[in-house]
Chains A and B, each alone.
Chain A
């Protein structure tokens, strides 16, 4: 009797959760459909200039034809590869720099003003210099993707290193641990959550770096397509590239989020 009522209440609770979820999903779909619907209608009736703002139908036609020709695939490939590499290099280098700073307090004191300047400086402004130094190719673009996230990663991870509870080090030192052993056993693993959360930030930053890099120089990539479309006044191409970027950036973000969940689970509490 009692249990039956409990079961009923539980079922009602689950039902409520499900309803809520459905409600949210429906509204998300309504927003999506009405956005593209209104865009399409506005374009057809010349409420907005179709030459400038294109329309979902012409973007779809363009994408279908480009995909079937296969021409857009190389562009997508280039951008994705550059972004992923920029992201990885930026994050890894940032963590390495942070470790070097931690290794020598004196070195970090010496470097302090330079890091402040590098951090405050808008990294994309370095674009032309990178291109001159590394050549007008994908290496410069990867460097742009990396440089935009490396300084902030260094700062965030370094300050996280310093915030690790000193008592962990005390425990290790009482066993006679060296500084390196303290780093390996306590400082680095204790900072894992911070490092993992920088991943999510960095993936977004790397997109910025790569797209700007492609704006400046390149014969390939989605950023290149945007600039090219702009120059030849083909805004359908610009919009199509934007949509692809949005989709890929979202996918990458989601993948990193999943990775973050996995890493958190397997490195932090280890459950």
Chain B
């Protein structure tokens, strides 16, 4: 049963001097509750896919379907997490978290309670009235996560959300995000450079190739790894096996790129 489907999506970037085809006939679907990672060399259009699904960019060709119907942009069905937290420095933590509901004019007393309990859940109690400047990078990214989850999105788009963090914080946050997504049964799409992270977190991995961006290969993460916490996956005997396969696949494309 497909939940989100991309069918023959292409995207071009136009400039005065010419155009680049960032994506070419991208088709894949995600089942509800599934976690998919996209790996690929830089410039393969990974982030463009997320922007198109989020409705921030319009694809030049193809369709994005939710439940086999074109997506309704008026309702929020998407939560977007970026590389950096992009918390608004002039707003308090609670104001930052409630920005989505405020924009959609759906903020109620319950939303605020939910925000507080979600903040508590990610280990950030008693900071509701603090400002982002007084928080560490990991804390800020957790606030951004809560901000994303508060609108109860159907799909989470994660655009390298852990890449700006130090390694230890990153591992901890991976576990936290994984756990939250499982608890709330969310569907997620993660863009990353980190093979280990992709294996640790997802059910399926799409490896992309650049110029133009296409899906080169799809890897299914072994069933035994799927329900383990990311931290434990990295110690699993099967982890290294799939890591090597993905590594070789990625190398193939990067090799081809340097030759051309």
Enumerate A231-271 residues with CB–CB distance to B below 8 Å: 267-271
A172 on the B face (CB < 8 A)? yes
**Interchain nearest-CB distance for B153 vs A (Å):** 9
**B80–A269 contact, CB under 8 A?**
no
With beta carbons under 8 angstroms apart, the residue of A165, A174, A190, A270 that contacts B78 is A174
Give the docked Cα–Cα distance between A167 and B99 (Å): 15
Contact B86 A268 (CB under 8 A): no
Scan B55-87; emit 1 where CB is below 8 A from any A CB, else 0.
Answer: 110000000000000000111101110101010
Q: Which of A168, A174, A185 contacts B56 (CB 8 A)?
A: A174
The answer to whether residues A175 and B99 also contact, given A170-B56, A189-B88, A267-B90 and a CB cut-off of 8 A, is yes
Determine the residue in chain A with the shortest Cβ distance to B148: A174
A269-B133, A271-B131 known; A173-B88 Cβ under 8 A: no
Q: How far is the CA of A190 from the CA of B82 in the complex (A)?
A: 19
- Could you tell me if A185 and B80 are in contact, using CB atoms closer than 8 angstroms? no
Contact B100 A175 (CB under 8 A): yes
Q: Which A residues are CB-close (under 8 A) to B78?
A: 174
Beyond A170-B56, A174-B54, A175-B76, whether A270 also contacts B103 by CB under 8 A is no
Tell me, yes or no, whether B92 is within 8 Å of chain A by CB: yes
- Determine whether B163 belongs to the interface, using a CB cutoff of 8 Å to chain A: no
Which residues, 170 to 184 on A, are CB-close (under 8 Å) to B?
Answer: 170-177, 181
B56's nearest neighbour on chain A, judged by CB, is A173
Q: How many Å lie between the Cα of A271 and that of B131 in the bound state? A: 7
| A81-100 with Cβ < 8 A to chain B | none
Secondary structure call for the B interface: loop
Known: A176-B104, A269-B131, A271-B131. A171 touches B86 (CB 8 A): yes
Chain B: minimal CB distance from A185 (Å): 7
Q: Which B84-143 residues have C-beta < 8 A from chain A? A: 84, 86, 88-92, 99-100, 103-104, 131, 133-134
Quote the shortest CB–CB distance from B242 to chain A (angstroms). Answer: 31
A167 to B160, CA, bound (A): 14
Q: In whole angstroms, how far apart are the Cα atoms of A176 and B134 in the complex? A: 28
Contacts of A176 in B (CB 8 A): 55, 73-76, 103-104
- CB <8 Å contact, A270 and B131: yes
Within 8 Å by CB of B151, from A165, A173, A175, A186, lies A175
B80 — which chain A residues lie within 8 A by C-beta?
170-171, 174
Which of B54, B73, B90 makes the CB contact (< 8 A) with A268? B90
Bound: A173/B80 CA distance, A: 10
* Inter-chain contacts of B84 with A (CB < 8 A): 167
A192 within 8 A of B: yes
- Shortest CB distance A211–B (Å): 37
Residues in chain A near residue B79, CB distance under 8 A? 174
Kindly list chain A residues whose C-beta atoms are within 8 Å of the C-beta of B99.
171-172, 175, 185
Q: Is there an interface contact between B76 and A270, defined as CB atoms closer than 8 Å?
A: no
| Residue among A173, A174, A186, A269 having the largest count of chain B Cβ atoms under 10 Å | A174
Chain B residues contacting A172 (CB-CB under 8 Å) are 99, 103
Tell me the nearest residue of chain A to B78, going by C-beta.
Answer: A174
Cα distance A171–B103 in the bound complex, in angstroms: 11
Residues of chain B lying within 8 A (CB to CB) of residue A171:
80, 82, 86, 99
Q: Residues of B contacting A173 with CB < 8 Å?
A: 54-56
Query: Nearest A residue to B102 by beta-carbon distance?
Result: A185
Chain A residues with CB under 8 A of B76: 174-176
In the bound complex, what is the Cα–Cα distance between A186 and B54 (angstroms)? 19
Closest Cβ neighbor of A167 among chain B residues: B86
Give the residues from 123 to 176 in chain A that come closer than 8 angstroms, CB to CB, to chain B.
165, 167-168, 170-176
Question: A177–B78 Cα gap in the complex (Å)?
Answer: 13
Tell which of B74, B88, B134, B157 touches A168, judged by Cβ atoms closer than 8 Å. Answer: B88
> B74 contacts which chain A residues (CB < 8 A)?
176
Interface positions, chain B 165-189, Cβ under 8 Å from A, are: none
In the complex, what residue of chain B is closest to A182 when comparing beta carbons?
Answer: B103
Q: Please, which residue of chain A has its CB at the minimum distance from the CB of B84?
A: A167
Contact of B90 with A270 in the complex, beta carbons under 8 Å = yes
Report the separation of the CA atoms of residues A177 and B56 in the bound assembly, to the nearest whole angstrom.
Answer: 10
Q: Are A269 and B86 in contact (CB under 8 A)?
A: no
CA of A176 to CA of B89, assembled, Å: 21
A-B contact sample (7 more), CB < 8 A, given A167-B82, A185-B103, A270-B131: A165-B86, A171-B99, A173-B54, A174-B157, A176-B73, A176-B75, A185-B88
Q: List 10 tightest A-B contacts by C-beta distance, closest first.
A: A174-B80, A175-B100, A175-B103, A177-B103, A171-B86, A167-B86, A174-B54, A189-B90, A173-B56, A270-B131
24 contacts between A and B (CB under 8 A): A165-B86, A167-B84, A167-B86, A168-B86, A170-B56, A170-B80, A170-B86, A171-B82, A173-B55, A174-B54, A174-B80, A175-B99, A176-B55, A176-B73, A176-B76, A176-B103, A185-B103, A186-B88, A192-B90, A268-B89, A269-B90, A270-B89, A270-B92, A271-B134
